[in-house]
Chains A and B, each alone.
Chain A
Amino acid sequence: MSRIHVTTKINGDETEFLCEAEATLLDVLRDELGLTGTKEGCGTGDCGACSVTVDGRLVCSCLMLGAEAEGREITTIEGMATGETLHPLQKKFIEMAALQCGICTPGILVAAKSLLERNPDPSEEEVRYWLAGNLCRCTGYDKIIRAVLDTAADMRRAS
């Protein structure tokens, strides 16, 4: 079976990989590139654990083929902090105990960052609907929603 050569940019780095035609972007990230921060919870686009952005758009990487990454810019959880400096959402999630087991956390952080880039002042309801595609079984979402709202307020004050 011939493999497809793909050139893309991941977390700012020019990246090349070979993938099977049927490989999802999630498979490529995890199995070819070792970027295992992106998680597989369902493989059917229902849980959001594999959330990444592609050219700034939030997608489930399990629903996109690796080959479709050609020429795109992908951002994963590994691209969220800058060196030692955490993104404000990452810091706030730790401070406010917005994670328990942590398996959904990368996807929720990627999704929440994407929300705040579009809407720096979301209402609670807007946060709840934006994150409705990200399943968390541990927290009941309360502390997650609070952490996102709190981060948004901090970022507004800082800007």
Chain B
Amino acid sequence: MALDDSKKPREFKIVGTRPDRPDGIDKVTGRARFGADMVAPGMLTGRILRSPHAHARIKRIDTSKAESLPGVKAVVTRVDFGAVPDHVADIMDNCMAGEKALYDGHAIAAVAAISPAVARHALKLIEVDYEVLPHVTDVDEAMKPGAPVLHEGRQEETVPKGMSGNVIARAEFGHGDIEAGLKQADRVVERTYRTAATHQGYIEPHACLATMGADGQGDLWVCTQGHYMVRNTCAAILGLEQGQLRVTASEIGGGFGGKTTVFLEPVALMLAKKSGRPVKMVMSRSEVLRATGPTSSTSIDVKIGMTKEGRITAGFAELRYQGGAWPGSPVNMGAMSGFAPYDLENVKTVGWDVVTNRPKAAAYRAPGAPMAAFAIESAIDELAKGFGLDPLAVRLMNGADEGTKSSYGPTYPAIGLKATLEAARKHPHWTAPLGKNQGRGVACGFWFNFGGDTCVSLNITPDGTVTVSEGNPDIGGSRASMTMMAAEELGIPYDQVRTIIADTGSLGQNEVTDGSRVTFAVGLATIEAARAAKREMCRRAAMIWDIDEDAVEWEDGAARPAGPNAGKFPPMTIKEIAAVASNTGGPIAGHHEVTAEGAGVSFATHMVDVEVDPETGATKILRYTVFQDAGKAVHPSYVEGQFQGGAVQGIGWALNEEYIYGEDGILQNAGFLDYRIPVASDLPMIDTVILEIPNPGHPYGVRGVGETSIVPPLAAIANAVSAAAGVRMTQLPMSPPRVLAAIQADG
């Protein structure tokens, strides 16, 4: 069968429309089953005992009283897990403390009991002797020689001798000669910026339900961004064979990167194994805030030189990210991404990965990038404003394009940065008048996007309707986009396809739902699976017509003779071919397995108007517009939704959200009352402009859209607040007291 691979712009019938999502009715009626909604016969309640100290040696744990409490069926500590493979050692340590408690909220022990009340009582009966140790929660403090050290022997060779043991790694990116570039500048801005740790803030707490037999077979129901990752990680920790552990993903109530690792799951399996009963574990909101997520707090030095015409002559940034109690902060992605929107001759970034007595940082939507963009885009704005230049024009003058050597190495193919800037310049928002105490800010953002291991299986039923099985939880409409791409490729109506999220026993390995990869990579695999099924259906038609396979083509949901020479046969629809499949070789399916590459980088420009109350320092967002390249928007409503959601998480990060630690190293705001995420009354509508610069790496041109949208807002809002308040804000969040203090200090 001949597939049309011509380069002419493709006309879509379904892709680009806005059908109802297939999981919609379940989710508006309460039928959809999320992590905590599952039950099993004989189920126990699992609960975790958590450290009340930021840093302490665990000298002794006595669980005997808890074990003898009636109704307690299992108690677990680290001893139960024994030694685990190196690649999961830190994850194990985070799920259940070993020799030391490393942060407030670190898991120490767990129980499974016949009721929540008995489980809670049992936790109180566990005796732990702690030797409290000095702690450190601030990234700059943790880097000082003499700071309390969390781990011995973890420092990598990239770190110069004499630095604190908390400094784990140093990395460097860039090209050119910074000093030479700075000499060509008419002005150099050098500033230090700081951002607070923020949490992903998904509304659904972590939850799972585990069963584990003595035969080594286990089943796990879990809310996660990647059930294959859960399977592989838990199997490694518990010493199981991956094929013996079946993991089923529940509906997922938000993740934003925070559900790309495990916290409860290995513990639940161990409790289930010891008790011989199903064990359900659900975190409270305070456990979520104390012991999962968050992202790094950061401290970033930036030095940028610019000519008076607006050309950036050199860009340098030194980024320090604390990633909580184990190595692995997203500093390198910050260091790689911060200058990525620009075409620079001289650019260099240095990243430092630092550990502190805080929960281990988890991925958070474009991990590491928003903070770097905040620092760099703020400095660029300050330079542009200082020369009286238009900040969009300065970004266009320096903007990266096809052929630009990026700040992190690769040379770009077709990209959409300048399209977003041009769209921003033409938008009525850019020229709308501003009132007193109001300011407008703009900023650009970049994200890499990702592909990765992906499997899709597409089956044609006997009545000719289609089922698609994929392995990535639907976190915001991906069933809809897969259904649309399958229907588009097969040439059949949207409602003739149903997409399901298969368990780990049903498909091969699938990378987690991360890196904005699903619409790109799973979409690509879905299209390829549909093409495989089309080829097979053409082959069946050829067999029935007794003509050559190559003489059959697929169009509008039917096999047809490819031309007048092929013979005269009426088209055979998918339904007609499916109905006789048993006589032509059996059931028809297509599948595709791939390590997807060519994800296609993504850029955005954000524009925001704010009003700052000079009496209180409070900031109100007045107007917000997102301009972003989607490659090809499969379901534009959900693309807009990603733009809007990312912008609003960024608004929270910029204005309100922060992890607040006391001198004692205890998290002081572990609840949604004090860790305040944006609410409806804080916000205006979030306008969106979708640009479509096709990604050459995807059959329909799709780029990931989920993460880029959180990269520019921190800087865009800081630039707007700085303009409104008349003073440059260099620290997040720009909470009312901080803005007021800056206004007053400025006199």
Task: Mark A residues whose CB is within 8 Å of B.
Answer: 1, 20, 22, 30, 34-44, 46-47, 49, 76-78, 80-81, 86, 90, 93-97, 99-106, 109, 125, 127-129, 131-146
Contacts and interface: CB of A to CB of B under 8 A. Distances in A.
A103 B288 CA distance: 16
Interface of B: 18, 20-21, 23-34, 36-37, 39, 117, 200-205, 251-256, 282, 284-285, 475-477, 635, 637-638, 640-641, 644-649, 671-673, 677-683, 685-686
Label chain A's interface by main secondary structure: loop
B193 to A, nearest CB: 25
A99 B28 contact: yes
Contact of B644 (A34, A125, A143): A143
Contacts of A1: 117
Contacts of B205: 40-41
Contacts of B640: 97, 142-143
Given A137-B649, A141-B648, A100 B476 contact: yes
Contact of B672 (A44, A76, A81, A143): A44
B677 A135 contact: yes
A100 B203 contact: no
Nearest to B28: A90
Contacts of A37: 29-31
A138 to B, nearest CB: 5
Contact of B256 (A20, A90, A137): A137
Contacts of A96: 637
A146 B680 CA distance: 12
Contact of A109 (B28, B282, B646): B28
A106 B30 contact: yes
Contacts of A93: 24, 28
B253 A102 contact: yes
Q: Which of A44, A49, A96 has the most CB of B within 10 A?
A: A44
A46 B680 contact: no
Contacts of B21: 94, 97
A125 B256 CA distance: 28
Contacts of A142: 640, 644, 683, 685-686
A22 B115 CA distance: 13
Contacts of B475: 100-101
A103 B641 contact: no
A37 B253 CA distance: 13
Given A37-B31, A132-B679, A132-B680, A139 B203 contact: no
B644 A140 contact: yes
Contacts of B23: 102
Contact of A135 (B30, B33, B679): B679
Contacts of A20: 117
Contact of A77 (B20, B30, B256, B646): B30
A55 B201 CA distance: 32
A36 B30 contact: yes
A131 B678 CA distance: 12
Given A40-B205, A44-B672, A103-B34, A138 B641 contact: yes
B568 to A, nearest CB: 44
Nearest to B650: A140
Given A39-B34, A41-B204, A94 B28 contact: yes
A41 B287 CA distance: 12
Nearest to A96: B637
A104 B637 contact: no
A81 B28 CA distance: 9
A96 B644 CA distance: 14
B641 A139 contact: yes
A107 B117 CA distance: 27
A97 B683 CA distance: 19
